[in-house]
Chain A
Amino acid sequence: MTVWIEIGGKKRRVELPSAGAAGALECVVDGKAVTVDAQTLQPGVMSLVVEGRQYRCVLDGDAVLIDGKRFAFEVSDPRSLQGRRGVGEGAAGPRTVKAPMPGRVVRVLVAVGGDVAEQQGVVVIEAMKMQNELKSPKAGRVIRVAVAVEDTVGAGDVLVVVE
């Protein structure tokens, strides 16, 4: 199976070894074969020997920690590249402001029906003694305010929708 793996801003074409394989695997990265010997040490933790070099890898949500360094990846199947952007999320459609981190809402600066300018603050979230004002990605009208003061939000939760 061929996928694109984007890391560090650069996209590489990778041919994956067959799913479910273990032991010495051959991956082809941009046409170059790389042998990886994989050993699971405990759930989520692997030792990988790549071309004779040993790496301890920890799977961590959207990233992998390799010898303590964190790498986040975007993996895409070339057959499904079209339509990746959510319907209605273009510059002309509604745009959502999402919480970039878990936190508590300390101020809501807009109301449904109100107009906002691009980069105008809409909600202030506090976490770990730090307040962050989240801004509207576009000028438009507020069509939804999904939170109220004192609400606790998770990373990625929708706060406000601007049309």
Chain B
Amino acid sequence: MRRTIQKVLIANRGEIALRVIRACREMGLRTVAVYSDADRAALHVLHADEAYRLGPAPASESYLRGDLILEAARHCGADAVHPGYGFLSENAEFAEACATAGVTFIGPPANAMRVLGSKTRARQTADAAGIPRVPGSVTGLTSAEEALKVAEGIGFPVMLKAAAGGGGKGMRAVAAREELAAAYAAASSEAERSFGSGEVYIEKLIEQPRHIEIQLMADQYGRCLYLGERECSVQRRHQKVIEEAPSAVVGEDLRRRMGEAAVRLALSAGYVNAGTVEFLVDSDQNFYFLEMNTRLQVEHPVTELVTGLDLVRMQIRVAMGEPLGLKQEDVQLRGHAIECRIYAEDPENSFFPSPGLITRLVQPGGAGIREDCGVYAGWTVPLEYDPMLSKLVAFAETRELAIDRMLRALDEYVIGGIKTNIGLFRRILNDPDFRAARIDTGYLERLLARAASVDEATVADEVVAIAAALLAVSGCERTPAVADSVQQSRWATAGRQEGLRT
């Protein structure tokens, strides 16, 4: 069924809201932002044609209030809602409420979301579609005793996971029988607190796997395309840190087999719109279904760069009822893209969050660099939401060139006033194991456990001389910014281990 979309309300914030606004603008569609009290001056509000206040800062009183969002849509006459990722993007009740209100939800149908959004139901669907999955339970466990029975059947080590989970919450690795009962209780309780459901399932722990996922796009006429893979093995506490496309270890044959399996799964659930099927891949290139994300993902730009496709535009067109204009053989991959998630956090200090005023922002540019950014200088990064400031993406002909380009861009990037993880990316991208693509999902934890090498810790004389010169010059620089910044009392934390041109 064809539908007209003229005005899109973006039920999100930050860089993804801006990303959707940009796509809409290019398509000649009007855009509507919604905001909490903490976001009145946020970039997504400034870029939209219209903006409506939802409520106080906590997400539970603003961005998670589907009723308020639909009220805003009714008020302004928006005929579609794009949910971005997170918040309400995988909430089947919200998708249904949109349909009831006569507003097009730019995402999958509620039924497909229900089938694939629950990890246990998705595993049952994968079984029915003949897709290999990690051995383990296909239904939620009811007790620690049942967990033990399953674990002994598949053999330790195992992983407990929340059925409604994500982001590493409600997950526990269990190495041996005697650890299982306590881990089950902890995982179930964390899942209950985080997702409102304590349902936990169990699977065999695949050792040193790579996390590789397939991007899909499906229309409502039964056509579903796979758009290549992304490798997301660089993770910290099950949260992705760097993503790249294509994976250095996936060849034509594996890509086709994974892609066809992903398409089979999507079609069997009646899936429409953008989605991603996540797999674990072991050292023998066996792949196992993990879960499906029924939304656009953070890391979609790397797929856009290697396929040349605009996924948000495709989402909107599919939601309008247009057929995909492409065949599978039209999807050609070219070059290599890497994405770094730039976070307001301090890797030197237990990754503590670092909200606050951005005093200065110098954004990288030049050939092959894309930055999807949700902040600006003079804006205060609020406490209430996740710490992602921007996504920096480098694209080049080869992986090696993309890494070099990313390092160059990181050197240009200045975010003042708050701590960020930019320095951590330099360390990863210079690491010989990363450069040789010797990575798996445990790679980053191992890197962080190693002290920075002598070279990384070396601080050139120039840096000390620069500090000395700044101290000297600042004696007469009494403009407020300088005067504030160079008082010795404020230069009071220990030196960071970052080399300058070393």
Contact = CB atoms under 8 A, between A and B. Distances in A.
Contacts of A64: 466-467, 470
B411 A8 contact: no
A27 to B, nearest CB: 4
Contacts of B497: 8-9
Given A29-B464, A74-B493, A128-B355, A68 B410 contact: yes
Interface in B454-499: 457-459, 461-477, 479-482, 484-486, 488, 490-499
Given A59-B486, A60-B360, A69-B423, A74 B466 contact: no
Most buried by A among B352, B362, B488, B498: B352
B465 A65 contact: no
Contacts of A21: 472-473, 475-476
B493 A5 contact: no
Given A25-B469, A50-B462, A74-B491, A43 B479 contact: yes
Contacts of A101: 346, 352-355
Interface residues of A, number: 67
B470 A70 contact: no
B412 interface: yes
A116 interface: no
Of A17, A60, A67, most B-chain CB atoms within 10 Å: A60
Given A12-B464, A48-B469, A101-B352, A6 B475 contact: no
Given A14-B468, A68-B411, A60 B416 contact: yes
A137 interface: no
Nearest to B457: A8
Nearest to B426: A69
A136 B167 CA distance: 29
B500 interface: yes
A29 to B, nearest CB: 5
Nearest to A36: B469
Interface residues of B, number: 69
Contacts of B463: 7, 66, 71
B80 interface: no
Nearest to B167: A129
B385 A48 contact: no
Given A43-B480, A103-B353, A48 B491 contact: no
A73 B458 contact: no
A69 B500 contact: yes
A120 interface: no
The secondary structure that dominates the A interface is strand
B86 to A, nearest CB: 10
B493 A62 contact: yes
B465 A50 contact: yes
Contacts of A59: 470, 474, 481-482, 485-486
B352 A67 contact: no
A40 B476 CA distance: 11
A75 B487 CA distance: 10
A16 B470 CA distance: 10
B135 interface: no
A53 interface: yes
B417 interface: yes
Nearest to A24: B469
B344 A128 contact: yes
A25 B494 contact: no
A22 B476 contact: yes
A89 B322 CA distance: 69
B467 A38 contact: no
A29 B471 CA distance: 14
A127 B383 contact: yes
Given A29-B468, A50-B466, A127-B355, A71 B473 contact: no
B270 interface: no
9 contacts: A9-B495, A14-B468, A20-B472, A29-B461, A64-B467, A70-B422, A73-B467, A103-B383, A128-B384
Nearest 8 CB-CB pairings of A with B: A19-B475, A7-B495, A20-B476, A59-B485, A44-B481, A128-B353, A34-B465, A8-B459
